[in-house]
Chain A
Amino acid sequence: MIDEIRRIEDDARGRVAAVDTVAELVELDRELLGKRSALTGTKRQMGALSEDERRELGAALNAAQESIRGFLAARRAELEAVEREVQLGAERLDLTEVRADRDAGHLHLITQVVEELEDVFVGLGFTVAEGPEVEDDWHNFTGLNFGTYHPARDMQDTFFVDLGAPREVVLRTHTSPVQMRVMEGQAPPIYSVVPGRVYRNEAADATHLAVFHQIECLVVDHGITFGHLAGTIDRFTKAFFGPGYSMRLRPAYFPFTEPSAEFDVQRPDGTWLELGGCGMVHPNVLRNGGIDPEEWSGFAFGFGLDRLAATRHGVTDLRELASTDVRFLSQF
């Protein structure tokens, strides 16, 4: 019987080696080691044997069983490796061929700059105010201390809108009308920043636009001084441009501020960027906004965004900013 067991074992070795698929191997496993297998049959015959013979035979049976399990496991491992090889080969992908059919999307240059500036001002303790782009004369001019025949009106070429009385409705020439609206709608203290689109009636060229963007900052509180204006612009300059930047103020004229100044930013290489205008809010403007200039004082400063946005990326013609060409838009 021992021989029989050996024969079964040898036979099993041969059959296991001949199997080509895992599925067949599972079949064979059942046949070689299952209830109806030859080994199990041999086991059933053991009852007739002596104890010694049984022990001997049992050991041989166990050894054969272990051995066959070993053939099966080894063969299974071989076959699985082959099958995996085949599967992997069949599933091969060249990932260098992948191209997304969409990209991360694009915020317009102007929006990027507006959000960045808003964040800087929010960090400095400001809230963001907004107002209409079509304005009445009061908010855009008269309330801001532009007299009817004030020569300063010539400084701002205005688009007039076919509404209301002649010259009553305009496309806002600056973001300052929102100052008026903020003051009308809220008692001091005011710490507001106003980004927005503005309009000037002058033909666009590489360095000027008829439709462009500004941001301005308005503070009205007790004890606000020109020193606070300078200090705040300095803080802003460092927060937005970087610690290596500084600023200077030069006397200027705007009807709605007095004293007024232009402010320039000095780059780390010593060159100057003429950025914007600023000043102490004119007492007449405070009064027009319903604020007592003897009790409160304030400052405002503002500047155009388009050149700032364009120069960051080396865009030399500002008119590109209105481009709807995806070759432009998808670069930013």
Chain B
Amino acid sequence: MKVLSSWLHEMLDAPVAPEALAAAFDDLGTPVEEEVRLGEGLEGVVVARVLDLRPHPNADKIQLVDVDAGDGQPLQICCGAFNMAVGDLVPLATLGTTMPNGMTIERRKLRGEWSNGMLCSSRELELGDDHGGIRVLDVDASTGTPLRDALGIEPDVLWELEVNPNRPDAMSVAGLARDVAPKAGVGFRLPSPTVSTAGSRADAVAHVDIADPDLCGRFVTRVLRDVTVGESPAWMQRRLIALGMRPINALVDISNYVMLELGQPNHPYDLAKVAGGTLRARRARDGETLVTLDDVKRTFTTDDLLITDGDDRPVGIAGIMGGAACEISASTTDVLLEMAWFQPTSISRTSRRLGLRSEASARFEKGADPEVIDLAADRFCQLAAEICGAVTAPGQVDERGTLPGRDPIRVRTARVNALLGTDLERERITELLDPIGFTSTPVGDDLDVVVPSWRYDSEAEIDVVEEVARHHGYRNIPHRELTEPRVGRLSTRQKDRRSVRRLMTGLGLAECLPLPFLAPGQLARCGLDPHGIRLLNPLVAEESILRTSLLPGLMAAASHNATRRQTGVGLWEIGRVFLPPPEGQVLPDEREHLAVLLAGHDAPAAVEVWQVLADRLRLPEPAVENDVVAGLHPTRGARATVAGTPVGLVGEIDPAVLARHDVGERVAYLEVDLGALLDGPRRDEAYRPMSRFPSSDIDLAFEVADGISAIDVERTLAGGSDLVWSVRLFDVYRGPPLPETRRSLAYAVRLQALDRTLTDAEVAAARSSLIAAVESAHDAVLRG
């Protein structure tokens, strides 16, 4: 909402400095987003008369203009515009003038001809948008008169304020003035227009029918006769332009002016074009249509409220936009003025469905003031009389539907203080509420508060508490410390997640956070199940599917880096993936995954990461099970398992997937369900005593079929004797003389006892039992 200091001051009973008003707006929750000082930068601009126009001898696009700037002498100016004629009055920025944009006017030569100032367009003067030519002045002023005096421009301040949805009152100059006045320490007064009436009564020609009282709470019409529709006066146009509205004609301008000033949207119809002088508020019939003022044909549903005439013909969309048919024109003489209150939710729904927002709908959907209608109608009639010579018919037609209730709200003084941490007396609360129209009646220590008609948003005690806080001032509420004894901490899960992050960085890998949205086909390009949960309203199709795996994002990352010759990148990500909802649930099966991508590495590098990860999280019995896994190289992939349960995949990216992503190096990859790991069991953490006695090392090599997991063999060895301290796979051999489907696995086993040095016989016995255990469990043969 934009507002002018001068307009506000018409409703304040004493002047307030712009700085103080701006600060008060900030404190009240209608902060100043932009401030423009109007009329500044015009000091050196005077009215000049064009004496002569001559072509520039050396240029086509500029001409030479002689002007009289007040001393009767011709002054030569070079000008790029050609829209003025000899005798015209034009604005001249004299030498030394600093323009609103900061440029200083100097005497200079243009293509060899002197220019002794600058003739200005409206935009250059920041007096309008027009930059089509020099502003030709339609004023009765002598040359040399300062432009500001000639145009009657007072220095003014324009603020653009941010208005929150809970402040319908702040959508008008009056509402802002009312709210800011007590903060600024001045009084507030509404305009008090006087209307003289003549002719036959309004209800003799105008009729109103509220067919749907749930959607239309009040409907008032007045009749104005003998209207001359010309242009509105300059002061009004300036204010409308400043507040962001385009002047149309005097009646429309008055309508907008009243809306901006008092917050009451209204609509003037050409009475002659409204059948029967009748306006009716009724729900639309399905498929009914209307061409609105913006020349667009709109189609309605039964949720929409229309204004129709005596022939049941739609003449406007209630509270949003009028129809083209009954528009005010230059030939209009009699006006039917509509002032109504429409149900906010209904306006909001229709406006949203049609994608049609207007200044009127913005006010109605926040909740307009049903009781300001009479004043607004008076103001309209008064301005129409002054500007258009309108004669107002006596009386008005006033129908009421359902309006929001305004039962008193009990506001407990103790509650106010308990919520705010203040020590306000009941009387002080009353003083804070009174000026903004919240009228209160004492009830014991408390108050019964009636919310003003312009605060549709306020309906409960807490809403009143907020008003008290706003006007008391947030900065005046003393800070307090939380005193409840409590201990802050991260959960074990959160600590473990951090520990995983530290592990990943310790491995020298870089964390990335790609967008979690995928393009259609992106899952398939990664060799994964193509089905992912869809967004109904994606920004772009390329970001329309929720990821089911971190692989597509990291593969895209690998591809991005590879195409920039950044090879060998090591990336990781912890993020959510979204799987179809479990039976009977609406929300997806959302899981937190960890993925690690090692470009330039083959599968074992990923397995190593899995092993150190499992070690860091103390996972019980971590393993890999060779398998064909979607996305992975069919013969270099495995499932990562914990105690036999799959928790992820590990290996190398499928060469076909690499090719589709233009990645020319091998890529090792690990992805695990980190959430499941964090929530899952941990290995026993109990201390394992170390022996003070020397250990004995034995090496055992077994010939084992390819299908047998090296980890299983390792586990068998580890559990094969109480004397085993550690087992390490140190060599794998394939080739002659072994058969093709078998390989040799060589383990270094360290044996020791807590209480003695092992004898040769004990070591030999342990060795035999380990060999026997492996041979029987894995169809293995000890190699000689």
Contacts and interface: CB of A to CB of B under 8 A. Distances in A.
Interface string A88-132: 000000000000001111111011000100100111111110001
Given A122-B488, A134-B590, A253-B165, 11 more contacts: A104-B508, A132-B590, A133-B590, A136-B587, A160-B536, A168-B586, A232-B481, A250-B26, A251-B466, A258-B463, A325-B560
B513 A108 contact: yes
A151 B456 CA distance: 13
Contact of B474 (A106, A123, A251, A325): A251
A327 interface: yes
A226 B475 contact: no
A95 B93 CA distance: 72
Question: What are the 9 A-B residue pairs with the smallest beta carbon separation, nearest first?
Answer: A251-B29, A227-B421, A105-B505, A102-B508, A225-B421, A324-B557, A253-B164, A231-B479, A227-B480
Interface in B417-456: 418-422
Contacts of A103: 508
A206 interface: no
Contact of B510 (A106, A226, A250): A106
A234 B480 CA distance: 10
Contact of B566 (A102, A219, A327): A327
16 contacts: A106-B510, A107-B511, A110-B513, A111-B501, A125-B484, A160-B537, A168-B586, A191-B488, A197-B576, A225-B421, A232-B482, A253-B165, A258-B463, A258-B466, A322-B513, A327-B564
A248 B512 CA distance: 35
Contacts of A162: 533-536
Given A230-B477, A329-B511, A133 B576 contact: yes
Interface of A: 102-108, 110-111, 115, 118, 121-128, 132-136, 149-152, 154-155, 159-164, 168-169, 171, 189, 191, 197, 201-204, 210-211, 219, 221, 223-228, 230-232, 234-235, 248-253, 258-262, 280, 282-283, 297, 321-327, 329-330
B537 A128 contact: no
B759 interface: no
Contacts of B463: 258
Interface stretch (B4-12, B97-105, B210-218, B489-497): B489-497
A248 to B, nearest CB: 7
Contacts of A124: 482, 488
Contact of A123 (B466, B488, B554): B488
A132 B463 CA distance: 31
A155 B477 CA distance: 28
Contact of A127 (B479, B491, B557): B491
A111 B462 CA distance: 37
A191 to B, nearest CB: 6
Interface string B485-524: 0111111001000100100111111111111110000000
Contacts of A210: 539, 543
Nearest to A235: B481
A101 B479 CA distance: 53
Contacts of A221: 482, 484
A324 B418 contact: no
Contacts of A219: 482
Interface string B229-242: 00000000000000
B462 A258 contact: yes
Q: Which of B482, B534, B537, B586 has the most CB of A within 10 A?
A: B482
A5 B657 CA distance: 88
B117 to A, nearest CB: 40
Contact of A159 (B488, B538, B556, B586): B538
B345 interface: yes
Contacts, number: 241
B419 A326 contact: no
Contacts of B511: 105-108, 111, 329
B539 A201 contact: yes
B366 interface: yes
- For this complex, into which size category does the number of interface residues on chain B fall? 35 or more
B446 to A, nearest CB: 14
A19 B400 CA distance: 126
B167 interface: yes
Contacts of B370: none
A167 to B, nearest CB: 8
Contacts of A234: 479
Given A161-B546, A248-B475, A253 B166 contact: yes
B109 interface: no
B251 to A, nearest CB: 30
B604 to A, nearest CB: 16
A138 B505 CA distance: 39
Contacts of A327: 564, 566
B27 interface: yes
Contacts of B470: 251, 259
A297 B490 contact: no
A252 B29 contact: yes
B560 A249 contact: no
A192 B469 CA distance: 25
Contact of B469 (A197, A251, A325): A251
Contact of A329 (B418, B488, B571): B571
Given A104-B508, A228-B480, A324-B514, A152 B349 contact: no
Nearest to A149: B345
Given A115-B498, A163-B586, A227-B478, A297 B419 contact: yes
B234 to A, nearest CB: 36
Contacts of A323: 512
B506 A149 contact: no
B398 to A, nearest CB: 28
Contacts of B490: 118, 122, 127-128
A152 B576 contact: no
Contacts of B270: none
Contacts of A252: 29, 164
Given A136-B587, A149-B345, A159-B538, A283 B462 contact: yes
A139 B271 CA distance: 51
B474 A126 contact: no
Nearest to B508: A102
Nearest to A132: B590
A324 B512 contact: yes
Nearest to A223: B418
Contacts of B348: 149, 151
B539 to A, nearest CB: 6
Contacts of A329: 510-512, 571
Contacts of B513: 108, 110-111, 321-322
B169 interface: no
Contacts of B29: 250-253
A5 to B, nearest CB: 51
B622 interface: no
Contacts of B533: 134, 161-163
Contacts of B74: none
B166 A161 contact: no
